[in-house]
Structure 1
């Protein structure tokens, strides 16, 4: 039995060495492409933080109808007044911490 084990051990070691992906790298450290798919997916989902637009082109958030109406109000001195909104209400309950 020991002769079979002596023959099988090097054979198994040779077969398992074929599973190594990068023979020049330390087997303890991770593969250089580890996490590549996560980085790619994040890059695909992130909006370009510094987009380039044409100087005379429309910009994000532009609305032709709203812009034209605002210019017309400005030229006729009929600018809308700012609406004041309240974010609190007094719908009962306790008046705060005691």
Structure 2
């Protein structure tokens, strides 16, 4: 009876240890999965934000350059027309 009791105690201890290990492993896995998901989401958000910012910067630069070029062209044309008119008037006089 004494030996049987020991075996029973051993078995209980073993099962408890096993259960604890299993629960810890399971918890760690869940936590790691959660952390990975969180980090991936966070990283994706950061990357998308960065990409959007870069694209906006590029677009703004492109639009500004384009607008400046158009305005300069227009101004040059206007000034040339004005100059031509002025010179013709001067020449006629």
TM class, shorter-chain normalised? 0.3 to 0.5
Question: Comparing both structures, which one devotes a greater share of its residues to helix?
Answer: 2
Normalising by structure 2, we get a TM-score of 0.40
Greater Rg, structure 1 or structure 2?
Answer: 2
